[in-house]
A and B are shown apart, each in its own frame.
Chain A
Amino acid sequence: MTKQVQQLDRVIIRFAGDSGDGMQLTGDRFTAETASFGNDLSTLPNFPAEIRAPAGTLPGVSSFQLHFADHDILTPGDAPNVLVAMNPAALKANLSDLPRGADIIANADEFTKRNLQKVGYETNPLEDESLAEWRLHSVPLTSLTVKALEEFDISKKDAERAKNMFALGLLSWLYGRPVEATIKFIETKFAKKPAIAKSNVAAFNAGYNYGETTEAFSVSYEIKPAPLSAGVYRNISGNQALALGLVAASVQSKLPLFLGSYPITPASDILHELSKHKRFGIRTFQAEDEIAGVGAALGAAFGGALGVTTTSGPGVALKAETVGLAVTTELPLIVVDVQRAGPSTGMPTKTEQTDLLMALFGRNGESPVPVIAPATPSDCFDSAVEAARIAIKYRTPVMLLSDGYLANGSEPWKVPSQAELPDISVPYTTEPNGDDGTTFLPFKRDAETLARPWAIPGTPGLEHRIGGIEKADGTGNISYDPNNHDLMVRLRQAKIDGIDVPDLEVDDPDGDARVLVLGWGSTYGPIAAAARRVRRGGHKVAQAHLRHLNPFPKNIGEVLKSYDKVLLPEINLGQLALLLRAKYLVDIISYNRVRGLPFKAEELAGVIQEVIDSE
């Protein structure tokens, strides 16, 4: 049977199932196949904080959304074209996101009376015509898998568990994905359990062949590779990119990296990744708590290391006092906050941009800290290097604000070579700096950067003491002198204010837009995609995205004032808007949603359009 092949320019697939169904793995593999095929892509994993919520229930649903295209794309997509629903809960939890006419591939075997009851379906939606407005493919994935694995010497339970590989095989056929890497992946993953490896490969192939032969699927799809610029690419998540960025920062600064960290969602993967790279001289220290994590990092920085701590919002709250100590002792330190929904424990696996004001102001005293926020998963790499550059050059703690969406989302990344990366090394101080040629003044500043010398233990003649008590300008001796304190407060502020930050770039194709849409952090993708839609509709909008939140780029006031209206979408209640209004007296139009999810491009396009129309 020859099947029809239909050309598409882009597809959004959402794999959804029970937490135990292996949807994240399935999504990861489909992503890897798609990446190696050469499509541009963007992913959005969405999973519960519970490791295994009760099976078959709505809270237990885990999903993975992948958007891939023959052109460059910016977001994991608003609404899926295809929903793979492994059970009734997965269907129910995701159906409202699915536009009419989209495909549903449902595992019919799981739509049992009991499973339907668990989520409140009175009749089986696969049979009661309630899904008539969608293209329903009701496939008995579990029993097909079990049947395909009959001849293997594995338990029925293990056979059933391979159903996600059957589904992956089916989808791989449907979208013409290359399969070799997945087969190799399965063989490596289960290398110690050959029977499981073979059965999973068989399930994967069976799913592929099922698509090819069954009449249930009459059409397959082709999405041509995207014309990306020449180079070596890999698919990368934000947490992975951030970890590799820290390794690169260590190499490029010629400083040994010391990570002090305490496990916390969604930041732990950075600790996991860095702990693999010991041959770069990287020391990873899993501390007894968040405070010890940052304390150890600061202690290592005093000893001359590139000190890093990684955490999420609740951890930043605990680390605040130590960050203040780093501010006043003027030691380099990188504090990575992978933001998640708060306050308090909040929703650990959901994303938010609500820690900006905490990063800036969440410490006692006048305690200025540079803040940087990456825009995309791969930008986490460059942002980590930039954070290290500032920390080392200015001897200051730096806050790096990633978030759950960047951390777990992924995209193709054009891998830089080491030769392209900046040299961010700054030598330690080894000689006395006093006018007499013998004294060492630990708080005598560099005239240009206002940074103090970084003299590390082991350096003869420069023995000195630092601490949290206010220090006399120059000598660093304890000082309660009122004028000295006022001076030191101002010097610390001036040092941060004077950090060299690149100008804010504005994307305005025609140069005459009257509305600017501004963003920071992980909203870059949805905002840029929304701006494209608006422009495609024949309207003009300028877009700018802030990476440096403290200090702001020098030209930002000028940029803000040169537009009639400035729209600022944020996944908080207007934290950056508050700062910009206060500092530049510009009446920002805020758009805020705090749902634990990224913005949708369509939603933002509507908001931009409204602002343009109100002109």
Chain B
Amino acid sequence: MSESLNGKGLALVPKAEGKQTLKDFKSDQEVRWCPGCGDYAILAAVQSFMPELGIKRENTVFVSGIGCSSRFPYYMNTYGFHSIHGRAPAIATGLAASRPDLSVWVITGDGDALSIGGNHLIHALRRNVNLNILLFNNRIYGLTKGQYSPTSEVGKITKSTPMGSLDKPFNPISLAVGAEAGFVARTIDSDRKHLHSVLREAAAHRGTSLVEIYQNCNIFNDNAFEDLKDPDKRDVITLRLEHGQPIANASQAVKIAPTGGLEVVARDSIAESEILVHDMHNPDPSLAFALSRLDEPAFQHVPIGIFRSVDRPSYDHLMSEQLDLAVAQRGPGDLDELLQGGDTWKIN
């Protein structure tokens, strides 16, 4: 049954023999991001994380679209496919759906995933193919040199919007929860430990997992997430999401508002029992969605961690089951029988 794979994202991927190290996952290619780019930190974090999974390197595939982050596969000594703009989730879907023995990772950015590839992203999420999607969100177009992106804040002054951008940004977490993704998380490039913990859970999830990684573009949108890194502010505004724990930090706490949504109040203004306890396994996505809306107003209180981790059968597995069922019911395909099926007649 499909349920038996719940929480076992790598159950069908062959295990590595012997211990792997970070070095095993570094390719021989020179990394060519701008010095100081947040992508370096994420690459190092992923390379140092992969040995922990203990799966065969040759059964690991990184698929990307177009953009700065999408160069990522070239730097991983695994199989890799640097594809075209926005289409990585579609390409990875075909790969993962036909090869359940692979661990497939999609590397994408805010423009790649949410603008040109928005359609593929939402359908991958609702479909729940066994993929891990890492969305590097720097809120800017880097590779095309600095236009605003679908996650840029309203009024963003860029080369293409000299008087300020007009359109409201997407919140990637809200979008993913809205598409009823099974696994939705947010982390940040500068916090390797947290990044590792989220990647660990994402890999374990069987189905599509979306991990938004706040990533700094020091050339075109420097310090976009500075408030989350500033030692004076970060502990005040970051709300760590930990399953079974109250959603709160020393200064702020989350409670259910009388209107039915969520509100953030001063920690010392409410009783401990009133603080919302995080349940990432809640099948109803409403609270996860409400949590994702706490980002506004910007950087007043930012939830970080796993918003939602709910198991449901993955598409690739259901597809394999249908194939198995068809064989069980009628036996394996016989070409001669198929070709000579239907209304035939014989001429002697």
Interface of A toward B, CB cutoff 8 Å: 32, 35-36, 38, 181, 228-235, 244, 247-248, 251, 256, 258, 260, 277-283, 285, 287-289, 291-292, 295-305, 307, 321-322, 324-325, 329, 415-418, 421, 457-469, 477-478
Q: By the criterion CB–CB under 8 Å, are A465 and B94 in contact?
A: no
- Can you list, as one digit per residue, whether each of B327-342 has a CB less than 8 Å from chain A (1) or not (0)? 1011111011011101
**Given contacts A230-B347, A300-B94, A461-B58, A467 and B83 within 8 Å (CB-CB):** yes
How many angstroms between the C-alpha atoms of A416 and B102 in the bound complex? Answer: 37
Whether B74 is near chain A, meaning CB under 8 Å from some CB there, is yes
Asked if B79 is at the interface of the complex by the 8 Å CB criterion, the answer is yes
Q: Which of B38-46, B276-284, B318-326 contacts A (4 or more CB under 8 A)?
A: B318-326
Give the distance in Å from the alpha carbon of A248 to the alpha carbon of B333 in the complex: 11
Query: Which of these binds chain A: B84-92, B167-175, B222-230, B247-255?
Result: B84-92
Within the assembled complex, what's the spacing in Å between the Cα atoms of A295 and B14?
26
Contacts A229-B347, A232-B345 given; does A296 touch B93 at CB 8 Å: yes
Given A303-B99, A469-B82 in contact, is the A247-B345 Cβ separation under 8 Å?
A: no
Please tell me if B97 contacts chain A, counting CB pairs below 8 Å.
Answer: yes
Q: Knowing A278-B326, A304-B99, A325-B83, say if A295 contacts B90 (CB, 8 Å).
A: yes
Asked if B57 is at the interface (CB within 8 A of a chain A CB), the reply is yes
User: Whole-angstrom distance from the CB of A484 to the nearest CB of chain B?
Assistant: 16
Name the one of B101, B333, B343, B348 contacting A277, with C-beta atoms under 8 angstroms.
B333
- The answer to whether residues A292 and B119 also contact, given A35-B345, A299-B95, A300-B97 and a CB cut-off of 8 A, is yes
In-complex Cβ contact of A244 among B326, B327, B338 (8 A): B338
Q: Is the CB of B84 within 8 A of A463?
A: no
| Chain A residue contacts of B84, Cβ below 8 A | 321-322, 324-325, 468
CA distance A408 to B336 in the complex (A): 24
- CB <8 Å contact, A233 and B58: no
The contact of B74 among A228, A232, A256, A465, by CB within 8 Å, is A465
State A277–B330 Cα separation when bound (angstroms): 11
**Bound-complex Cα distance A247 to B333 (A):** 10
User: When chains A and B are docked, how far (Å) is the Cα of A418 from the Cα of B102?
Assistant: 33
Contact B81 A283 (CB under 8 A): no
Known contacts A302-B81, A465-B80; is-contact A35 B95 (Cβ 8 Å): no
Closest 4 CB pairs of A and B: A467-B82, A296-B94, A299-B94, A295-B90
Which residue from chain B places its CB closest to the CB of A325 in the assembled complex? B84
User: Looking across the interface, which residue of chain B has its beta carbon closest to that of A281?
Assistant: B323
B266 to chain A, nearest CB (A): 45
Cβ contacts under 8 Å, A301 to chain B: 94
Bound form: Cα–Cα A36–B343 in Å = 8
Q: Which residues of chain A are near B80, meaning CB under 8 Å? A: 464-467
Report which of A280, A305, A462, A467 forms a contact with B98, defined as CB distance below 8 A: A305
Given A283-B97, A285-B97, A457-B99, A299 contacting B327 (CB threshold 8 A): no
Q: Is the CB of A457 within 8 A of B79?
A: yes
User: In the complex the two chains form, what is the Cα distance from A417 to B334 in whole Å?
Assistant: 11
Which of A244, A283, A458 counts the most B-chain CB atoms under 10 A from its CB? A458
Given known A-B contacts A36-B345, A234-B344, A303-B99, A463 and B93 have beta carbons under 8 A apart: no
B227 to chain A, nearest CB (A): 36
Would you give the shortest CB distance from B18 to chain A, in whole angstroms? 12
Shortest distance between the CB of A28 and any CB in chain B (Å): 11
Q: Can you list 14 pairs linking A and B with CB atoms under 8 Å apart?
A: A251-B335, A258-B94, A285-B94, A291-B120, A298-B91, A415-B339, A417-B339, A421-B335, A457-B95, A458-B101, A460-B57, A464-B79, A466-B81, A468-B84
A324 to B346, CA, bound (A): 45
CA distance A291 to B94 in the complex (A): 12
Known contacts A278-B323, A292-B123, A298 near B344 by CB under 8 Å:
no
Q: How far is the CB of A134 from chain B (nearest CB, A)?
A: 33
Residue of B91, B98, B336 contacting most chain A CB atoms (<10 Å): B98
- Collect the chain A residues with CB atoms within 8 Å of residue B329's CB: 279
Set of chain A residues within 8 Å of B77, measured between Cβ atoms: 463
Contact between A307 and B94, CB atoms less than 8 A apart = yes
Check if B27 is an interface residue, CB within 8 A of chain A: yes
Inter-chain contact A299/B93, CB cutoff 8 Å: yes
Contacts A278-B322, A415-B340, A458-B99 known; A467 to B119 CB distance under 8 Å? no
Instruction: Tell me the B67-83 residues at the A interface (CB within 8 Å).
Output: 73-74, 76-83
B61 at the interface (CB under 8 A from A): yes
Chain B contacts for A32, CB-based, 8 A: 343
Cβ distance B154 to chain A, nearest Cβ, rounded Å: 28
* Bound-complex Cα distance A305 to B97 (A): 11
- Point out the residue from B61, B333, B344, B347 that lies within 8 Å of A457, measured CB to CB: B61
**In the complex, which residue of chain B has the Cβ closest to the Cβ of A227?**
B347
Interface residues in B146-203 (C-beta closer than 8 Å to A): none
Residues A465 and B102 in contact, CB atoms below 8 Å apart: no
Q: Does B6 lie at the interface of the complex (its beta carbon under 8 Å from any beta carbon of A)?
A: no
Least CB distance from A592 to B in Å reads: 36
CA of A282 to CA of B320 in the docked complex: distance in angstroms?
Answer: 10
User: Chain A residues with Cβ under 8 A from B102's Cβ?
Assistant: 303, 457-458
- The answer to whether A468 and B82 touch (CB under 8 A), given A233-B345, A295-B91, is yes
Give Cα A278 to B327, complex, Å: 8
A296 pairs with B344, CB closer than 8 A: no
User: A279 and B323: CB pair below 8 A?
Assistant: yes
Collect the chain B residues with CB atoms within 8 Å of residue A416's CB: 339
